[in-house]
Amino acid sequence: MTTAKRRYDKSGHLRFGILLALAALVATAPRAAQTPSGAQALQAACGACHRPDGPGRLARISAVRKTPEGWVMTIFRMQHVHGLKLSDAQRDALVRYLADTQGLAPSEAKPARFALERRPNVPDLELPGNLQTMCARCHSAARIALQRRDAGEWLKNVNWHLAQWPTIEYQQNARDRHWWRTASTVVPAELGKLFPLHTESWRIWQHHKAVDLGGRWLVHGHRPGRGDYWGTADITRGGDGDYRAAYRLTDEHGTATDGASHAIVYTGYEWRGTAKLGTLDTHEVFAASADGSTLSGRWFIADHPEIGADWTAVRAATQPQIVAVSPDSIRIGSRARIVVFGSHLGGKISFGPGTHARLIARSADRLEIEVAVDSAAHPGYRTVRVGRASDARSIALYDRVDRLEVTPAYAIARLGGGRIDPVSAQFDAVAYEDIAAADGKTRALRLGSLPVAWSVAPFNEEAVRDRDVDYAGHIDAFGQFMPAGAGPNPQRKFSADNTGNLFVVATLKAQAHPAASAKPVVGKAHLIVTVQRWNTPPIY
Amino acid sequence: MKAQEFAIFGLFLSLGAAAFGATKHDYIVTGSKPDHLFVVDPAKRTIASEFKIPGANDFVGTIVPSPGGRIAYVLVNKMESIAGIDLTTGKEVFRADLSTPGERVKCIFAFDVTPDGKELIVYELPVKLGLSEYKVEDTRFAVFDTRAGLHAEPVREFPAPRRVHTILARKDGKSFFAIGFDLYEYDIATGKRLGMRGIRHWDYPGHSIPDLLAFWPVSEPTGIFASPVYSTVKPPSGHGAPVAKTALMTLDLATGKLAFHDFETTSALIFSAVMSPTKPEAFGVYSQLSKIDTGNYTLARRVDLAHTYYAVLVSTDGKEVYTAGAMCDIGIFDAETLAEKGDVRLTGCTDQSITSPRLIRR
């Protein structure tokens, strides 16, 4: 079996597009559980190896619950390791059936959504006790926390691990202990308690009536390194149960982007879309709220999940409503153009004490306002009001920038080469003013993204000596670090790879500086540029 | 064994006999993916012969030469088979496929041949393959008759502890050592455990539990196995972070004497080591080549290498050190100065990886 064959689809994701052809196969009833065809298809595809172990049950399969991605990964293994033959359409239908009937309740998936959303460089979940070292050193703890099974079935999963990777016991952080003894006793017992098959939340969720997500939605989000965006989504539900969405988005620099998505909602709330946003091919991992009033998560570039943006959509209301205000802050003593995005925006506009607002342009869902801030205004947050609508997030007035916080504070980028794309690292810089409060403490005033210049610097002496800055890659104007090619570099000591240990530095650009402050305002993050990862599973 | 070896030897004499000279000297046997076995003549800096191992399945692991250096037993087929290759003819003369239908068996690099060449002792990790479930079974030692030909089956099996990484037969041929959490010794005939000495449970005052992982069962030419061992000690002041120490473990396969001696505060990673046959010295390798003074247990010399190597050998006369494993060449160094003297490139090699290059004398 070649490495190439064992890799997931280049996107590392379900090929949702295939489902177009599947309309006839997939049940149109609201819950796939009620359709015998799903159970029959499962029996036909899996029954040769997974024998019934009770009425309506198949060994192993009936004993687990997983996310759609979890089912994709398991079935992928059945195909590529155990020789299961399935068309993509059959596989996608099985995933849909299994995620609907043996999925996770929203509250169960919630703590580890970051993994489904493929957010790069976020801290993993912490499993208690020695579970972390035992089980979360090859993959995330999230991969485990996104499954449910009882102790006996966890034990089978652990058996398969050691059977499949017999060197586990010899690896670092395993050979220092009686790995198998712990893995076959303590681990399944603890996991069975933490992540059991039968839960009250799943019992209740199975009776939840799925909400039709069709209608008009107002969208806003933030794309690290590029800023805020907002717009509308028109969602319709097809006869096949799939959703189609049309997007009209604008970013804070005024660039308009149209998009279209085709999505499936698994387990009654897990929105998985394949979309085109302008020229980008993207995937969407959103969750609908139980009442169907919000749809939130993250979209990312299909081939580069590390690049993406937050996404929140709320149903367009019949009441006045502010959905987004951009930018997040205005310097005291200056004038700025602010966009207020929402619906039914009319009436008096106010940005609070010390400000003067003047409407410049108005469209159905968007106001463009010039705001002048008095030199004597006090720094702090102001509530934005338009008629009866007020924005909970408000806007900050500041007189200086004290610091920049670069996120993620610690990131990993991976070298590319051969068949494997590099994994870049995307940084974002958020500005703060530290205000002395009456109680003697300082209060951080969040100013949002301000224009910054990006650069890299050696992290330590070793990085200076090995000239990591020259070899490891480069950072662009949008805070995206692109690593260099992989493989031994004869110019480096020991023909080392182009790995590196760097600071990523954001420096506030002059226009955001108040004239008085001369010292450059910088923020730093730590970046490790390391070797390739050989496969890109849907859940790390 | 001799009968079969001879028959095949005779048959293919014309093909490969040229490889070995009339007078005895050192050769290095090494392997590489996908299925290569090389016999290198280090004195001539050339490849003396090169064979393809049948059914290697893109994996060439531990190499164990037969006592006269006539046959190399090579772990192949994703650690599931041991192929005995006649080093004169390149013919496969022995094969043990460890797995059977329904049971997948891997050997994690631990096997050895008895000093009389008659038996192989193999450490096995079996797994039951059910229809929809894999089940880990207890580890065991399996003994094979080296005359069994191409369909060898175990003649004896004994229970074994988990996490064993090295097997070394004692020189008297009666017992063997298994290195894992600790050092165990077993009777080859009965499988009875004869003794256990501490590794994890070592008695090294002031030292933490050590870390030892050796996949290179090299004891030639001295008959003493050596390996780096890592542990920590409390700082001299008694406060602050523990200090990492590298010790040399030695196991004398004739006397059974086991010893550990720190020789440096860890300043470089060493993968494997070998004892000098002529001086109180040992050599260790990874990104650097190190010489250890085993009289005083100090680091005597260290040089940077062009790239990493996993394995190290020393010539029978003690004058040259050979670095091998990892990539696709064998480095040749002066044992005195550690200066590079030459390099043999392995043709058609993708990488030597974890294979254990061995020194034979023919």
Render pLDDT for A165-185 as a digit per residue (tens, 0 to 9). 999 999 999 999 999 999 999
Does B69 score more than 50 pLDDT? Answer: yes
**So what's the ipTM on this one?**
0.90
Q: What is the mean pLDDT of chain B?
A: 93
Does A350 score more than 90 pLDDT? Answer: yes
In this prediction the pTM is 0.89
Tell me the CB-side half-sphere exposure of residue B331, using CA atoms within 13 A: 26
CATH of B206-362, one of 2.30.30.170, 3.40.50.720, 2.130.10.10, 3.30.230.10: 2.130.10.10
The tens digit of pLDDT for each residue in B119-156 reads 999 999 999 999 999 999 999 999 999 999 999 999 99
Q: What is the mean pLDDT of chain A?
A: 89
Does A253 score more than 80 pLDDT? Answer: yes
pLDDT score of A349: 93
Contacting residues of B for A167, CB less than 8 Å apart: 108
pLDDT score of A24: 28
Both tokens assigned to B21 = 């000279």
Does A79 score more than 70 pLDDT? Answer: yes
Does A30 score more than 50 pLDDT? Answer: no
- A490 touches B at CB < 8 Å: no
Domain spanning A403-530: which superfamily?
A: Immunoglobulins (2.60.40.10)
Degrees (nearest 5) of the Cα angle A236, A241, A242?
60
Report the alpha-carbon distance of residue A129 to residue A193 in Å, rounded: 13
Q: Could you tell me where the beta strands, DSSP code E, fall in A355-449? A: 355-363, 366-373, 380-382, 385-386, 389-390, 395-398, 403-407, 410-414, 425-426, 428-436, 442-448
**Smallest Cα distance from B252 to chain A, Å:** 24
Confidence category of residue A217, pLDDT binned at 50, 70, 90: very high
Both tokens assigned to B10 = 């005779």
Segment A401-418 shows an average pLDDT of: 92
- CATH class held by domain B53-201: mainly beta
Q: How far is CA A266 from CA A31, A307, B84, in A?
A: 10, 24, 55
Segment B244-268 shows an average pLDDT of: 97
- B104 touches A at CB < 8 Å: yes
Q: Where are the domains of chain B?
A: 53-201, 206-362
Segment A134-157 shows an average pLDDT of: 97
Specify the CATH number of the domain A7-19+209-315.
2.40.128.120
Q: How far is CA B243 from CA A202, B206, B211, in A?
A: 51, 11, 14
Q: Where in chain A is the domain with CATH 2.60.40.10?
A: 321-398, 403-530
- B306 touches A at CB < 8 Å: yes
- B303 touches A at CB < 8 Å: no
Segment B176-193 shows an average pLDDT of: 97
- B132 touches A at CB < 8 Å: yes
Give the residue, A56 or A18, on which the prediction is more confident.
A56
A321-398 CATH fold: Immunoglobulin-like (2.60.40)
- A318 touches B at CB < 8 Å: no
Does A434 score more than 60 pLDDT? Answer: yes
Segment B333-345 shows an average pLDDT of: 96
pLDDT score of A7: 34
Confidence category of residue A141, pLDDT binned at 50, 70, 90: very high
Q: Where in chain A is the domain with CATH 2.40.128.120?
A: 7-19+209-315
Q: How far is CA B54 from CA B60, B84, B92, B104, B236, in A?
A: 11, 10, 7, 20, 56
Q: Which of A51, A160, A170 sits opposite B213 (nearest CB)?
A: A170
* A vs B: CB pairs below 8 A: 60
The tens digit of pLDDT for each residue in A196-208 reads 999 999 999 999 9
Segment A425-454 shows an average pLDDT of: 93
Confidence category of residue A489, pLDDT binned at 50, 70, 90: confident
- A residues 57..86 contacting B (CB < 8 A): 59-60
**Smallest Cα distance from A462 to chain B, Å:** 15
Most trustworthy range by pLDDT among A16-25, A517-526, B340-349: B340-349
pLDDT score of A533: 77
Contacting residues of B for A494, CB less than 8 Å apart: 287, 304-308
- A residues 163..192 contacting B (CB < 8 A): 163-164, 166-167, 169-170, 175-176, 178-180, 184
Tell me the CB-side half-sphere exposure of residue B179, using CA atoms within 13 A: 29
Does B237 score more than 90 pLDDT? Answer: no
Both tokens assigned to B107 = 């050997």
Give the residue, A449 or A514, on which the prediction is more confident.
A449
Segment A68-83 shows an average pLDDT of: 97
Q: Report the sign of the C-alpha dihedral through residues B1, B6, B11, B15, in that order.
A: positive
Length of chain B: 362
